[in-house]
Structure 1
Amino acid sequence: MKNGHFNWLVKPLGYQSITKRCPTCEVKKLFYPSGCFRVNAQKKTLDVWNIYKCEKCDYTWNIDIFSRINTNKLAPELHEHFLHNNLDQVRRCAYDYSILKKNSAELGPTPEFHIEGPDPYALSNTATVQIQVLFEHPIPVRLINLLTRKLSLSRSAVLRLIEQKVILDITPGELNKKLKRPLSFRLDLERFYQLDPPVSSPVEYYTQNQ
């Protein structure tokens, strides 16, 4: 934390899945990246696909990344990533929603995620902090899910914090919106700890909700 500012970084786990009818299973199934690209070279042009695999069988579906792209327009490092199935690149492509949209891919569930960043319960010496929510990859997650997860509170408790001006710069109507870009808000820690009844600690919250 620096000068009362810190970041929460939302990091998805695994991959964004897509939903498609599997000809082998004969029903809709989730498809996940297999960890491999397919690269087809024709003289000075390339076709590149991200290979997805059915969650239940070996049926694959290719998601088009580049079609007939001139090799001169492709960065050498990126070209190497495709040729050698670089897993970081597989992950970046899996979370490139413009690529999925171009392929008319139906999204599966929002991936699970964790949030890196300071825990407000450990910041008792600070009055008001400004928190910026950032994304490693822009997954479609609702603001209320981020706040309940990181503050270890119920939805109603988060709403009460907004109404009591403990969480600032966020309105109740924004809680159900899926974030598409970084967001900043303030948290009044002095009032956070003075609430009556007091807010639950993380241990208390998870114990009550088992």
Structure 2
Amino acid sequence: MLPWIVRRTRLPLLSLRCPGCRSESATAGEGRFRVNANGKLLDVWLLVRCASCDRTRKLTVHERAPVASFAAADLRGYRANDPDLVASTLLDPLLARRNRFTLDWTGAWRLHTPPERPDEAWPLRVRVALEDPVPVRPERLIARGLGLSRNEVRRRVKCDVPPRRPTSTGFTFTVPAGD
């Protein structure tokens, strides 16, 4: 079984209306947190910038949470603006729901395939792994990876998920020998 991997190349843009210029696109840039202490309670925000006017906006990560409820590693990560913590926070679906934004993955991922396809290993079985929850349509991903048209993919490829419905989890597919 051949491994294909979908990897994030950068953080996705956020579809979020800017209150200043009414643009629909924002970015987390290099990723910064703002932490505010009020007694034994903490507020944590992820700062994002409008892609058009550069205005900064805060996305609520934690609100009035007791300091004791945080893991020490998370507190250090928030204070140090840890890039891995920024990415995992931004990709959290609960944060998106609470702050009313969606992620725009256009141009933010790349498909990594083995350099050579074995000609004698038919039927060709491929396992696609997504390192981040990138929403991709299996049909388009397979067409790109194999260099086929989408009609050819529909006709020849057997996939374990609906090929026209976006998925953000891994899947497998089989390509029988050519006609």
| Range class of TM-score, shorter chain | 0.7 to 0.9
Aligned length: 177
Cα 1:37/1:92, change in 2 over 3 Å: same
Flag the structure with higher helix content.
1
Q: CA contact under 8 A between 2:160 and 2:171: conserved in structure 1?
A: no
* Greater radius of gyration (CA): 1
* 1:9-158 equivalent positions in 2, closer than 5 A: 9-25=5-21, 27-34=22-29, 35-105=31-101, 107=102, 109-112=104-107, 113-119=109-115, 121-158=116-153
Q: Following the alignment from structure 1 to structure 2, what is the Cα–Cα distance between the partners of residues 124 and 81?
A: 48
Cα 1:70/1:129, change in 2 over 3 Å: farther
Letter in 2 for 1:175: P
Q: Quote the RMSD (CA, aligned, Å).
A: 2.2
Q: Following the alignment from structure 1 to structure 2, what is the Cα–Cα distance between the partners of residues 169 and 19?
A: 30
SS of 2:68's partner is: helix
Q: CA contact under 8 A between 1:52 and 1:62: conserved in structure 2?
A: yes
Q: Taking structure 2 as the reference length, what is the TM-score of the superposition? A: 0.85
Structure 1 residue 108, shift from structure 2 partner: 5.2
* 1:147-186 equivalent positions in 2, closer than 5 A: 147-161=142-156, 167-170=157-160, 174-186=162-174
Q: Percent of aligned positions with the same letter in both sequences?
A: 25
Gaps (5+ residues) in structure 1? 162-166, 196-210
Deviations 1:169-196 (A, max 9, x none): 447xx221010322122333xx14xx3x
Gaps (5+ residues) in structure 2? none
Q: Following the alignment from structure 2 to structure 1, what is the Cα–Cα distance between the partners of residues 38 and 140?
A: 47
SS of 1:176's partner is: coil
Q: Following the alignment from structure 1 to structure 2, what is the Cα–Cα distance between the partners of residues 175 and 110?
A: 19
SS of 2:85's partner is: helix
Q: CA contact under 8 A between 2:23 and 2:52: conserved in structure 1?
A: no
Letter in 2 for 1:40: N
Q: Taking structure 1 as the reference length, what is the TM-score of the superposition? A: 0.74
Q: CA contact under 8 A between 1:47 and 1:66: conserved in structure 2?
A: yes
Cα 1:157/1:187, change in 2 over 3 Å: closer
Structure 1 residue 147, shift from structure 2 partner: 0.8
Cα 1:70/1:117, change in 2 over 3 Å: farther
